[in-house]
Amino acid sequence: MTTDFFQVEALFSEQEIDFRDRVRRFVQEQCMPVIVEHFDKGTFPLELIPQMAEMGLFGVHIEGYGCRKTSHTAYGLACQELGRCDSGLRAMFSVQNSLVMYPIHAFGSEEQRRTWLPKLRTAQAVGCFGLSEPDFGSDPGGMSTRAVFRGDRYRINGRKMWITNGPIAQLALIWARTEDGIRGFLVETSTPGFRATAIRHKFGYRTSPTALIELRDCEVEPGAMLPGGSGLKAVFSCLNHARYGVACSALGSAVACYETARDFAAEREVFGKPIAAYQLVQERLAIMLMEITKAQLINCRLGRLLDAGSVRHQQISMAKLNAVREAMKIARHARDILGGRGILADHHVIRHLCDLEAMSALEGTESMHTLVIGQDVTGIPAFY
Ligand SMILES: Cc1cc2nc3c(=O)[nH]c(=O)nc-3n(C[C@H](O)[C@H](O)[C@H](O)COP(=O)(O)OP(=O)(O)OC[C@H]3O[C@@H](n4cnc5c(N)ncnc54)[C@H](O)[C@@H]3O)c2cc1C
């Protein structure tokens, strides 16, 4: 039985439900059987990427160039289903769509769109988004990566840290400081001077390939710069989509943990009866369901605000903060209900818990989103 206490499904269109169900089937049939093994090894199931492309999962924010646009709500439901299995899968989907294809479409030249969007849609190319640096994560405006125009080319120097898809990408959208402020550059990862090194020993986002990217005198043509977007405004417009994706992914993880714990509690007998019969276990399950329901309603409303083009970034901050924070609490309740088994990857809960730890940092930390809301409430920025 699908968890939907307040009949939130009634708020989605038939097309949105159909899209979600296709992703759900893909997750159930193709992803779930392989994910524990990949989590254990810290590898990404690369063979799933062409299958995702075949299902039309890349290019969902775009109409044209062979892409079929879905609603933001449908995108959120896909993130939820992928996140229900594994956050690394969802991250691959979100980065390709929200952080690479969307900015190329929104800020790119016609030539850039024609060159890259069909390749990204069909997964002939995987993209990554290079914003964060070793010394500038929460404060991307301080970035030290520079693109200097010399002769007839830009020369890029700098380092980008924590870059999802970085080790497997053919294309990197690198944000760098120029004479005209912060600009995005489409850099082929085979360009001399570009190096992506996989970050190892990660205990969150284990399946997701994450890189440290170093750019040393990496030269690109002027045509590599996105002409339409400059400054942090362009950056944040991409992150808005991706943060909504994180909120939905965290909700998917929470649902997976809740359903695992609910089913386990019904079967596991201790002191002669199922643990579901004990009040303390029931209290946990009730709290988990209540928080899932709140997040479902917030995320659904956020999807609709995005669809209507009337969203405020503070609303996205609240949804991301709420979904990840509550999902972490739900995962901990589930871990407890499962007893010792709660730490086994094949019961899934511990995988989600580790991934949620990473999700509380990426796409803006819990503290930064709290400060965004604090500023909205008081009118006073407390970031610095
Ligand atoms: C798995 C993973 C994948 C990622 N993928 C990408 C990607 O694809 N592309 C990309 O560009 N980046 C990516 N990131 C980077 C991510 O966005 C940053 O990690 C995040 O923005 C936080 O930056 P930081 O790690 O440098 O932490 P810091 O900014 O150093 O923050 C450290 C702590 O200080 C707190 N803090 C900072 N400033 C303040 C303040 N003013 N007031 C109160 N507290 C404060 C923070 O909340 C945090 O608790 C990824 C990160 C992870 C972990």
Distance CA 11, CA 31 (A): 27
**CA 377 to ligand 1 center in whole angstroms:** 23
DSSP string for residues in 253-283: HHHHHHHHHHHHHHH-EETTEEGGGSHHHHH
Distance of CA 189 to the CA centre of its chain: 22
CA quadruple 248, 384, 310, 183: dihedral positive or negative? negative
The Cα 384–Cα 382 span in angstroms is: 6
Model confidence at 150: pLDDT above 70: yes
- pLDDT at 248 (0 to 100): 98
Residues in the chain: 384
Q: DSSP code of 290?
A: H
363 is annotated as an active-site residue = yes
Enumerate residues lining ligand 1, CB below 6 A: 95, 129-132, 137-138, 162-164, 205, 210, 358, 361-365, 367-368, 371, 383
Tell me, what's the pLDDT at 175?
98
| Atom nearest to 204 CA in ligand 1 | 1
pLDDT at 2 over 90: no
Residues 145-151, mean pLDDT to the nearest whole number: 96
Question: Ligand 1, closest atom to CA 140?
Answer: 21
| Ligand 1 center to 210 CA (angstroms) | 14
Pocket test for ligand 1, best of 93, 94, 138 (most atoms within 8 A of CB): 138
pLDDT for 14 equals 98
Residue 180 CA to ligand 1 center (angstroms) comes to 25
| pLDDT tens digits, one per residue of 85-113 | 999 999 999 999 999 999 999 999 999 99
- Higher per-residue confidence, 241 vs 299: 299
pLDDT(360) > 70: yes
Distances (CA, A) of 286 to 249, 258, 376: 21, 10, 32
- Calculate mean pLDDT across residues 181-185: 97
Give the tokens for residue 84: 């229900």
Out of 111, 326, 363, 366, the active site residue is 363
Tell whether the model's pLDDT for residue 77 goes beyond 70: yes
What is the per-residue DSSP string for 69-114?
---HHHHHHHHHHHHHH-HHHHHHHHIIIIIIIHHHHHH--HHHHH
Residue of 187, 368, 373, 375 best suited for mutating to test ligand 1, as the one with most atoms within 8 Å of CB: 368
pLDDT at 354 over 70: yes
Between β-strands 181-188 and 171-178, what pairing exists: parallel, antiparallel or unpaired?
Answer: antiparallel
Q: How far apart, in whole angstroms, are the C-alpha atoms of residue 372 and residue 293? A: 24
The model's pTM? 0.97
Q: Ligand 1 centroid to 265 CA: how many Å?
A: 36
pLDDT in tens, 304-332: 999 999 999 999 999 999 999 999 999 99
Strands 146-150 vs 153-164: parallel, antiparallel or unpaired: antiparallel
- Which amino acid makes up residue 186? L
pLDDT digits (tens, 9 = 90+) for 15-42: 999 999 999 999 999 999 999 999 999 9
pLDDT of residue 322: 98
Question: Region 157-172: what's the mean pLDDT?
Answer: 98
Nearest CA to ligand 1 atom 16: 362
Angle at CA 255, nearest 5°, toward 250 and 259? 150
Q: What single-letter amino acid sits at 302?
A: L
Confidence of residue 229 (pLDDT cuts 50, 70, 90): confident
Mean pLDDT of 211-238: 95
Give backbone dihedrals phi and psi of 149, rounded to 5 degrees, phi first: -85, 115
Which pLDDT belongs to residue 198? 98
Q: What is the per-residue pLDDT across 118-135, written as a single tens digit (0 to 9) for each?
A: 999 999 999 999 999 999
Q: Is 91 left (phi over 0), alpha (psi -120 to 50) or beta?
A: alpha
Measure 188 CA to ligand 1 centroid, in angstroms: 25
Residue 1 confidence (pLDDT): 54
Choice from 44, 102, 132 to test ligand 1 binding pocket (greatest atom count within 8 A of CB): 132
How far from each other are the two terminal CA atoms of the chain, in whole angstroms?
47
Mean pLDDT, all residues of the chain: 97
Distance from residue 137's CA to the centre of ligand 1 (Å): 4
